[in-house]
Amino acid sequence: MRILGFLGSPRLNGKCNKLLKRALEGAASKGAEVKNYELIKCNIKYCMGCGNCFLKNPELTIGKCPLKDDAAAILEDYINSDGYLFASPCYDVFVTALMKTFLERKIALTYKSMEELAKIPAARPGVAANFLKKASFIVTANCADELEEVMGDPCYEALEAHLLFEEIDTLDKLYVGGVEGMSDEVFNAKLDKAFELGVHLVETIEAARNE
Ligand SMILES: Cc1cc2nc3c(=O)[nH]c(=O)nc-3n(C[C@H](O)[C@H](O)[C@H](O)COP(=O)(O)O)c2cc1C
């Protein structure tokens, strides 16, 4: 079982990464092999919208992208993994530009051909097997927990739409509001929730496979 984390925060020592690391520890405690992709450290260029990845060789599992950067290797790891933890701070009522840039490059996994353009495209063959792969989200924000709908929902939607195209189930969503100036006591309780999120992800994937 391999679980990947994707960090959308540029602040490696921020609260978002602390929560993501704790969630990955939860996954590891259930025997998963884990890796944290701190996106700020990766070379991921903007999608240029050329369409090469889905118009040429649409039969490939990962569409060929002319950009030379880390995206192809990350996507290779992505399709060979079983579950995902996406963590992003809310910036201007959305996921960060770092996370969005990565999501756009995942188009190489989803669109299939010109004929599919006007439709919601199914994932490329081999990307996921009938929703057996799962993902959970962590969103940090300065607005309090009561504003999860305003701040968290647009972030969840951005992530969830991609996963739907890839036929990957969304499992849990952890919103951690009021992060700036949060007491250690409150934050520690959120870290415990993050750990449980990681545990639940692995347990759910295992249970789905054993059905
Ligand atoms: C450019 C920018 C935009 C932000 N926009 C929002 C926002 O729309 N809503 C909100 O609640 N917090 C907002 N925040 C606060 C961040 O969400 C908060 O600082 C972050 O979740 C903390 O995570 P970190 O410790 O990983 O940096 C913003 C912060 C920055 C720097």
DSSP, residue by residue, 50-68: --HHHHSSTTSSS---S--
**Does the beta carbon of 89 lie inside 6 Å of ligand 1?**
yes
**Does the beta carbon of 16 lie inside 6 Å of ligand 1?**
yes
Residues 6+ apart with CB under 8 A from 37: 4, 5, 6, 7, 74
Out of 6, 22, 39, 92, give the residue to mutate to test ligand 1, the one with the largest number of ligand atoms within 8 Å of its CB: 92
Which among 84, 87, 95 has a CA at the least distance from the CA of 15?
A: 87
Both ends of the chain: CA-CA distance in Å? Answer: 16
Q: Do residues 169 and 135 lie in contact, with contact meaning Cβ atoms separated by under 8 Å?
A: yes
Residues 6+ apart with CB under 8 A from 141: 89, 90, 147, 151, 152, 175, 176, 177, 178, 179
For the chain, the average pLDDT equals 94
The residue written with tokens 């607005």 in the block is 143
Q: Do residues 9 and 87 lie in contact, with contact meaning Cβ atoms separated by under 8 Å?
A: yes
Going from the Cα of 141 to the center of ligand 1, the distance in angstroms, rounded, reads 5
Domain layout of the chain by residue ranges: 2-210
Q: 54 or 18: whose pLDDT is higher? A: 18
Query: Could you read off the pLDDT of 145-199 as tens digits, one per residue?
Result: 999 999 999 999 999 988 988 889 999 999 999 999 999 999 999 999 999 999 9
Residue 123: per-residue pLDDT = 79
Is pLDDT of 59 > 90? no
Residue 71: per-residue pLDDT = 98
Residue 196: per-residue pLDDT = 98
Residue 199: per-residue pLDDT = 98
CATH architecture of 2-210: 3-Layer(aba) Sandwich (3.40)
**Does the beta carbon of 138 lie inside 6 Å of ligand 1?**
no
